[in-house]
Amino acid sequence: MVRLSDLPDYEREHLLQKNMQPLGPTPWVPLSKPLSEMRVALITTAGLHFRDDPTFEFADATFRPIPGEENADDLVMSHSSVNFDRTGFQEDVNLVFPIDRFRELASEGAIGSLAEVHYSFMGAGLRPETYEGSVNALAGLLKKDRIDAVFLTPV
């Protein structure tokens, strides 16, 4: 764990500006059907994308689609936090984007199916309200794909 006192001044100030009130209690949403019938999408904040996609900028509130049939080993990471160790991702993409584990869950019948497209954001750069437009657009895409549940891997 990096201590604030060990960071350069600009990075320490950047992080201190993000000191926000807790979000409050997590709302309880009862399941509408068994997990074995649910369609699941993965969303990560690891800044993942395919090599030909635009990279994430430092202050980027957009998202990148990750088609479910693509090979996740072809993903690259443009997450730009000095506080994030990429070693695990380089060894196994499932650490930040557990697509292979969810494919196994789907094939075992533990979940109903996987989304046609999953999504990646670049985390750690902006205040939550900055993402509102992108999140609203993403909600429409998830609804169109008939997604029942989302598995979020915050990085």
What would you measure as the largest C-alpha separation in the chain, in angstroms? 50
What is the per-residue pLDDT across 51-63, written as a single tens digit (0 to 9) for each?
999 998 878 899 9
Per-residue DSSP letters for 61-100?
--EEEEETTS-GGGEEE----TT---HHHHH-GGGTS-HH
Task: Report the predicted TM-score, pTM, of the whole model to 2 decimal places.
Answer: 0.83
* pLDDT of res. 18: 75
Residue 85 CA from chain centroid, whole number: 16
* pLDDT of res. 21: 78
* pLDDT of res. 15: 76
In terms of Cα–Cα distance, which of 147, 130, 151 is closest to 60? 130
Low-confidence ranges of the chain (pLDDT < 70): 1, 80-84, 86, 124-125
What is the per-residue pLDDT across 112-123, written as a single tens digit (0 to 9) for each?
999 999 999 987
Query: What distance in Å separates the CA atoms of residue 57 and residue 150, rounded to the nearest whole number?
Result: 25
